[in-house]
Structure 1
Amino acid sequence: MNDQSKFQSADNSVSHVPVAENSLNFKSVIGKFLAFLPYFFISIVISLSVAFLFNRYSTPRYLVKATMLIKEKNNRTGMDGADGFIQGMQLLSSSKNIENELGILRARNVVEETIRNLDFGISYYSIGNIKKTDLYGNNPFRIEIDSNHLQTIGGDLNFDLLGNDEIEIYSEDPLNIFVPNTGEIVDSKVKVLRQKFNINNDIVSEYFKFKLIKNDPYFGKKGGQQFSFKLNSFENLVNEYNNNYEVKPINKLSTIVEITKEGSWPNKDIAFINMLCQTYTQRGLADKNRTTQNTISFIENQLSNISDSLSSVENQLQLFRSANKIVDIGSNGANIMEQLIGLENEKSKEELKAKYYDYLFNYVSANKSYDEVIAPGAMGVQDPILNGLLSKLVEVYAKKKTLEISLKESNPMIQETNNTLKVLRQTLLENIKNIQAGNKLVRKDFDERISIYEAQIGNLPLKEQKLLNMTRKYQLSDKLYTYLLEKRAEAGIAGAGITPDSKILDTSIVEGKTYPKTSNNYSIALAIGLTLPLIIIISLEFFNNSINNHSQLQQVSKIPLVGNIVHNTKQTALVIANHPKSQVSEAFRNLRSNISYLSGTKSGKKVIMVTSTVSGEGKTFISMNLSSVLAIGGFKTLLIGVDLRKPKIFQDFKLDNSYGLTNYLIGRADKYKIVQKTELENLDIITAGPTPPNPSELIMSAAFYNLIEEYKKEYDYIILDTPPIGLVADGLDIMKHSDIVLYVARQTVSKKNYLNLINEIYANEKEKNIGLIFNDINFASAYGYGYGAYGYGYGYGYGSSYGSGYGYGYGYGYGYGYGSQYGYGDTEIETKPLWKRIMGK
């Protein structure tokens, strides 16, 4: 059996422990997270606190919503009288395109009219420590400005209540000064300095004059509160609200629309949305009433003309009857007159239509807007082609007005609409000309038929002829007058029966708060509080190349682990000599027991080389205490400081470094002069001596190795504290002349790649007795050791209390638990703070 197999089979071996790997890894991972539990708690508390402050002091935003029904076109047909007149009017006015109406609701001129109807001219605020609150609808005071005096605009004018109706007015930001009557800005960037006033009097200064009216009789009695108000320009208000709300149907097939607005001041938004709906409804009614009024005006003009003619004919008829003593017309004449009046009555209606056609032709020819045209049905014209063309023209014109709300005149959609209007207008004019020609033929036909009966009148007596003509004119005018009166009455009835094409279904209400989303923010904060430490842990694992625990050391090296040296909290490095019952001392006793299995035999002289990769891993600390524990164990031991560049041993043992190994190697001292005795029996030391200019040449000289051979005759163990092999090549040559090589790795200091060189040496020289020492183990700070990762135990004659003990006299075992338990001795546990772990310190 070779040396390595002997070491691996020894009872006190610590390199291969029969623990289930999956269970170990899982518990190691759990241990890492449990070690960070305080940081998870702190992170969650901080995150939730930030979310609480954000939710409390952010200016909230609310969603305000109203719903409105926009009525569709009424398709009633086949009606007479007032209902028929209304139907004729509706051919033009009741055709509603939902997209056009949505555009009208978004129109700037609708917003302007809405703002004019609201009392948004002055904004009132209450000022808190963090934020200010709009007091619209709940303000304890109001301001009445003097329009003939200069006023501030464009910013807040603040005032503090001092108590007893005293206030102090000032501005924090520069303001503009303007003349209310003209709106002219006469000065800008004026800052109002603090001035005191009594609110019961007019408040007057160079830049403002107003009255403060109390809505609350107790306002101003107590001090300590802060308020402000701001005069808003009409243009700024319109810009603030225009395009700052949304209008959309509740679904594609519905004419019910939702009007929503999101803002920080819900009372103002409620007032705005309600007034917007009212403004839109009133505008629709006004458009309908204007069309009705135009129709009535046209009829009244005709009535005025006929009224004069009717009165004149009636007077002439009265005079003729009185002068000629004639009351009635004969039966023959009465029959002729009846036929004539019937024909002339129909002809007069056609003449009225002819006048309407002339009006319509001139209106369409001269106007570029078509929203005030008199409908054909209002004048008894029931031409479907004319009605269809005129309705289409009005509809396309309404579409153009909607597009102009958001598009420029040069936009292709508006250009296309203009072309459509041009074609429709020309087609309509051609249709009117055709109708006029047909109307002219109809009137000519009536004239021809009337002339036949007029010829028959010539056969009657002369007086009877005159009476018949006068009576005919009177009755014709009377019937036409009556017809127009009926039309005017129908128009009046239609006007009285006009109802809006929209209906407010639900006035605006606050739907809910949209910002901040309180529950979402707490959820996000909780997620961040949990995720941030998790990211830190993962980052530490991913980016940290340090060896933090026993399992990581075993993962990067197959070299047997012969010793685990716990963290030393004592003030001295000579722990064995000064604190023999400490945990560190017990660890070195266990190391002493394990070393005998690396040499291949339990007897014989042994040269033990102690080295590491870089400085600071504790090889000198290991060398001194290993030498001490061997000496205390009864072995005659020599400790040689071979690190000629940075000698340290003499400092801890308080020895003279003026003579040492260097002096011997350069031939200025013999082997007896350089050996120094210590307070420990069986322990001698050779210090490094003065630092030479050529340490590598001296160490690699034959004189050094001959010296080692000479001392092997006198000592049981020779401990060589050598330079780090990762920095200089001295140690690599010394290995060839050593029986045992102890390679030191220090927790959180040694990097995983530091062991590449010694691993390569171990792989290429299997017969070499190399062992690893894991130094400066801090159970609480090492991820793999805390909370159930590993437990270590030392004791005389038994192992740890949490695992199986191995060894001859000293035990070492594995278990699961927190910390370590020893047979006796001081507790040596220190927790490193997080920042040190992150920085690798």
Structure 2
Amino acid sequence: MVNKNAINIDKILYILRHNWFYIPAVLVVALLLAMITIQKVGEKYKVEASLQIQNQSLSTAGTQQELFLKGAELFASETNVADEIGAITSLSTIAETLRDMNYHITLYEASSRIFGIGAGDKEILNPFFQIRLTEGFPQATDVPVQITFLENDTYRVQATIEKGTHLFRSTAIDASYETSPDKVIIDKTLKLTEPYTDNYLNFSIALQENVPTSADTEYVFVINEMRSLAETYRNNLAIAPIFDGASILNISSSSPLPQKEIDFINGLMTTYIAKSLSKKNRLAQSTIASIDKQLDIAVDTLSTIEGSLEDFRSKNEIIDIEKTSENLNNQFTTLNEKKSDLTVKIEYYQYLTNTLTKKGSIDEMESVSTAGIEDQVLSNLVIELNALIQERSSIAFSSSSESPVLKGIDQRIRASRSAVLNNVNSLLSSYTINLRNTEERLDKINDQIAQLPRGERNLTSIERNFSLNDDLYSYLLQKRAEANIALATNVSDKIVIDEAHLVGKAFPSKPLLLIVFILLGLLTSLGVLFWKYITLSKIITESDIPTYIKWPVLDSIPYQKDKIKVSKSLKVYNKLKEKAKDGTKVISIVASNPSEDTYALTKGLVGQMIAMGDRVALVHLTSDLEDTFEQPKRIATKKVINNQVQDLIDTELSTELSVHKVSAGEFAHGNSIQELLFKLRESHDFVLLLAPSLNDSLAYYKVREHLDFTLFIVQSGFTKTSVLSENYGNMSLDSNIGIVIMNKA
């Protein structure tokens, strides 16, 4: 039993024999592609750098700085690695770097070729001159502009501006552009000091000092469109953390110009750090500006409150409510005591006045008390009056009322009393006025004391507002000073760990690239062969015969290299010999298409049968259409077969071989082949009928009913599965058919 799913070695060998040329052909193409790739791509160099996006050494300072203006968080913000990678690879950051490094202009040293940028052009990294674009004027992008330095300090500009060329007026990433309405050819010569200006290009040439220009030296520069250039650089960048959760990023890229790529990555990191620091500075500056606005408001508020406080104190004569209350109480007590004292004195002086003005004689007059008299003059007068009264009393005791001495004392008493009364009246008037003033002052103090609660409330409200705004003003002043210090000492928490540097050797390696392309060529050729293998529709071995075909395969005969082309098969002969025991004698040999294999198998069987002593008859059934409408190639094949049959007749086997040639036309016109086969069956052990191919003639189908067995020849590598299936469909009811595979493949 043949395993249909097993790998068919014979089929593989057939594919290799007939399609081997694919391997060298594909390898040649692969080598050509490798050489083209090496020439176009060239060697590239890998550049790497590392950048820390959050400096952990500032974490402590950052924690303290978080306390500065809650919500501002100038220094201690959370760092998201993905966001930082996005910021580094943003088109704006890359474009700013390219613009700062003047990379948006690519300068080449022209090689000998037709005008344009050729494969031999070499990019110049440090030229002795610079192209300075005039900002705000149109610039044709992605157009090779040739600069030729001539004698007499002149230069020549040559360029071809195609229709539809983009004309940018700015190198910004989002700059708008116009398009060239027509094709324009530029060829103009100018002085080195003159800038070039037109509707398509606007630039000037800046030469380095003390660097002479070589006459007739040609250079080519291209103004790159900023967005596409930035996208190219971004696509070439690879950025990732050194490990998960790390704040250190590894930045790498590759370029055929390693120094240019090193400068770019260093510049990119510098731009990123500067933008990060600028962002923090802008936040600090906006914070300071906000504090200044709050300070202005606080100053205005304080001025208003100070004016209100000044007006309140001015109107209420209050500086300190507690001291004012204490002063008023002290004044009230003092005045109250003064009032009492004045009242006593006034009552005393009124008593004194009443006493002195009492009607009666002098001898009835009593001494006046000096208690409570604080006025020394009055006290002296009263004492003097009392002394006169005492003296009169002594004289009156010993003298008559008409005594001149007594009258003299009385006169003196009257004078003294009058002096005392005048003095008392004066003091009494003064004390009365003083008492009235004291009472008025007491009334006023009482009013002020009554007003103290409302004044205290108003003053407290004013002082509270003043205190709050004064504290806010002091706080804002302190924070503004801190913000200024923070701004002055602001540093970025992004630091470069490793500057850009070369990593490893140049790639791709030419030998490695050749090996890769050779391997790709081999894989491609093997893929082609495999495709040929799985799509092959021809029968190579028994395993290629569809399973629904029930005819047995008798043998697979290898290809014979000898010139006589004799194909012998012991298996086939033994099978026929076995069937001959059951009366199987008439055997047909047929194929789908004309083939020499039918003759080779027939000659081999004839030789084997005769060698084994069998009597053999050969009937050559020819097609009646073979010389009329068939294709020339098939006609030639049939002529070869007929000649080979004739050769069979002419060999030494002819003496022991009965050969008969019958055409299908003769059979159709009444020459009964049945009678011929019957006679040959009786007189021979085997009758071999050599029939024309099934696809060229119906002869086989006409004689099939007279046959005992059919050997169906399958040509390995030539017979298609579809043809065999079609033949099987026409003869599927006939079980007396066996397949013989002829391995000519």
Smaller-chain TM-score bracket: 0.5 to 0.7
1:499 is matched with: 490
2:691 alignment partner, one of 703, 722, 733: 722
Measured in 1, the distance between the counterparts of 2:187 and 2:147 equals 10
Residues 1:156 and 2:125 aligned together: no
Q: Which residue of 1 aligns with 2:100?
A: 118
Percent identity, aligned pairs only? 9
How has the CA–CA distance of structure 1 residues 535 and 759 changed in structure 2, closer, same or farther, with 3 Å as cutoff?
A: same
Question: Which sections of structure 1, spanning at least 5 residues, go unmatched?
Answer: 1-15, 78-83, 303-350, 359-443, 460-479, 568-581, 656-674, 783-841
Could you list the per-position Cα deviations for residues 119-164 of structure 1 after superposition, in whole angstroms to 9, with x for gaps in the alignment? 54851243764598875x534531135679x653333242176998
Contact 2:47 2:254 in 1 (8 A): yes
Q: Which amino acid aligns with 1:169?
A: Q
Aligned-partner residue type, residue 705 of structure 1: Q
Task: State the AA in 2 paired with 1:124.
Answer: T
1:640 aligned onto 2:620? yes
The aligned residue for residue 57 of structure 1 is 40
Contact 2:63–2:76 (CA under 8 A) maintained in structure 1: no
Q: How does 1:236-255 map to 2 (within 5 A)?
A: none
Deviations 1:549-596 (A, max 9, x none): 4675799777464683736xxxxxxxxxxxxxx6152634x3599648
Structure 1 CA distance, aligned partners of 2:237 and 2:565?
A: 79
> Are residues 1:748 and 2:717 paired?
yes
Displacement of 1:678 after TM fit? 6.5
- Between the aligned partners of 2:98 and 2:716, the Cα distance in structure 1 is 78
The residue type equivalent to 1:502 in the other structure is D
Between the aligned partners of 2:591 and 2:642, the Cα distance in structure 1 is: 27
Provide the secondary structure at the position in 2 that maps to 1:506.
Answer: strand
- From 549, 566, 580, give the equivalent of 1:587: 566
What is the aligned counterpart of 2:540 among 541, 548, 553?
548
Q: Match for 1:566: what amino acid?
A: Y
Provide the residue aligned with 1:169 in structure 2: 158
Displacement, 1:746? 0.9
Which residue identity is paired with 2:222?
Answer: F
Aligned amino acid, residue 722 of structure 1: A
Query: 1:277 is matched with which residue: 273, 278, 286?
Result: 273
The corresponding residue for 1:67 is 52
Which one-letter code corresponds to 1:144 in the other structure? R
2:404 paired residue number: none
Distance in 2 of aligned mates of 1:543 and 1:203: 69
**Is 1:731 aligned to residue 700 of structure 2?**
yes
CA offset at residue 760 of structure 1? 10
- Contact persistence 1:559–1:759 (CA under 8 A): no
Q: Secondary structure, in 3 states, of the residue corresponding to 1:612?
A: strand
Alignment of structure 1 residues 186-335 onto 2, 5 Å: 188-193=180-185, 195=187, 197=189, 200=192, 202=194, 204=196, 206-207=198-199, 208=201, 210-214=203-207, 217=211, 227-230=220-223, 256=247, 258=249, 266=261, 267-288=263-284, 291-292=287-288
| Structure 1 residue 281: Cα displacement | 0.9
- Alignment RMSD: 6.7
Cα distance in 2 for residues equivalent to 1:760 and 1:486: 107
Change in 2 beyond 3 A, CA 1:296/1:557: closer
Q: Deviations over 1:503-546 (max 9, x none)?
A: 42337636879x99889988986775454444444444433242
- Shift of the 706–274 alpha-carbon distance from structure 1 to 2, 3 Å rule, reads same
Q: Quick check: 2:587–2:686 contact (8 Å CA) kept in 1?
A: no
User: Does structure 1 conserve the Cα–Cα contact (< 8 Å) formed by 2:589 and 2:712?
Assistant: yes
Alpha-carbon spacing, 1:90–1:357, altered in 2? closer, same or farther (3 Å): farther
User: Does structure 1 conserve the Cα–Cα contact (< 8 Å) formed by 2:135 and 2:169?
Assistant: yes
CA distance in 1, matches of 2:722, 2:105: 70
Contact 1:44 1:526 in 2 (8 A): yes
CA distance in 2, matches of 1:620, 1:723: 9
Quote how far apart the aligned CAs of 1:188 are. Answer: 2.6
Q: Secondary structure at the match of 1:499?
A: coil
Pair 1:291–1:757, CA change in 2 (3 A): closer
Please state how far the C-alpha of 1:45 moved relative to its aligned partner. Answer: 6.4
Q: Indicate the residue corresponding to 1:820 in structure 2.
A: none
CA distance in 2, matches of 1:652, 1:447: 143
Identify the residue that residue 433 of structure 1 maps to in structure 2: none
Pair 1:445–1:241, CA change in 2 (3 A):
farther
1:518–1:221: structure 2 CA closer, same or farther, 3 Å change rule?
A: same
The answer to whether the 8 A contact 2:622-2:692 is kept is: yes
- Matched letter for residue 745 of structure 1: V
The answer (yes or no) to whether the contact 1:161–1:226 under 8 Å persists in 2 is yes
CA distance in 2, matches of 1:711, 1:112: 98
**Cα distance in structure 1, aligned partners of 2:98 and 2:604:** 96
Deviation, 1:57, is 2.9
Cα distance, 1:272 vs structure 2: 3.5
Query: How far is the alpha carbon of 1:685 from its aligned partner?
Result: 6.4
Whether 2:437 is the aligned partner of 1:448: answer no
How far, CA to CA, are the matches of 2:556 and 2:135 in structure 1?
95
Which residues of 2 match residues 380-391 of structure 1 at below 5 A? none
Higher helix share: 2
CA distance in structure 2 between the aligned counterparts of 1:40 and 1:205, rounded to whole angstroms: 59
Letter in 2 for 1:509: A
- Quick one: structure 1 residues 492 and 720, their matched pair in 2 at CA, closer, same or farther if it must change by over 3 Å? closer
Deviation at 1:275, TM superposition (A): 1.7
* CA displacement 1:738-791 (0-9 Å, x = unmatched): 46643221111224566679989999888x6x664433x34xxx4xxxxxxxxx
Answer whether contact 1:105 1:247 (CA < 8 A) is retained: no
Deviation per residue, 1:663-709 (Å, 9 max, x gap):
xxxxxxxxxxxx999755547866555x85xx8855xx672211334
CA, structure 1 residues 51+516, in 2 after alignment: closer, same or farther (shift >3 Å)?
Answer: farther
* Aligned counterpart for 2:592 among listed residues 582, 604, 614: 614
Cα distance in structure 2, aligned partners of 1:72 and 1:751? 81
| 1:197 and 1:203 in contact (8 A); partners too | no
* Change in 2 beyond 3 A, CA 1:118/1:517: same
Say whether residues 1:774 and 2:723 are aligned partners.
Answer: no
Q: 1:129 to 1:147 in 2, by over 3 A?
A: closer
SS of the equivalent of 2:267 reads helix
Say if 1:356 and 1:739 are closer, same or farther in 2 by CA, change over 3 A. Answer: farther
C-alpha distance in 1 between matches for 2:602 and 2:95: 95
State the SS of the aligned residue for 2:718.
coil
Query: Which whole-Å deviations, capped at 9, do the CAs of 1:71-108 have from their partners, x for residues lacking one?
Result: 5584777xxxxxx9x96568744363325995895799
Q: Distance in 1 between the 2:513 and 2:318 partners?
A: 86
Partner amino acid, structure 2, of 1:118: D
CA contact 2:147–2:157 (8 Å) conserved in 1: yes
Q: Secondary structure at the match of 2:52?
A: strand
Q: Which amino acid aligns with 2:490?
A: T
Contact 1:168 1:195 in 2 (8 A): yes
Q: Does 1:144 align with 2:129?
A: no
Matched to 1:271, the amino acid is: G
CA contact 1:608–1:740 (8 Å) conserved in 2:
yes
Q: Distance in 1 between matches of 2:508 and 2:251?
A: 19
Contact 2:539 2:718 in 1 (8 A): yes
Structure 2 counterpart of 1:646, one-letter code: E
Secondary structure, in 3 states, of the residue corresponding to 1:744? strand
Cα distance between partner residues in 2 of 1:236 and 1:447: 76
CA shift in 2, pair 1:98/1:130, >3 Å: farther
How far apart in 1 are the matches of 2:671 and 2:245? 104
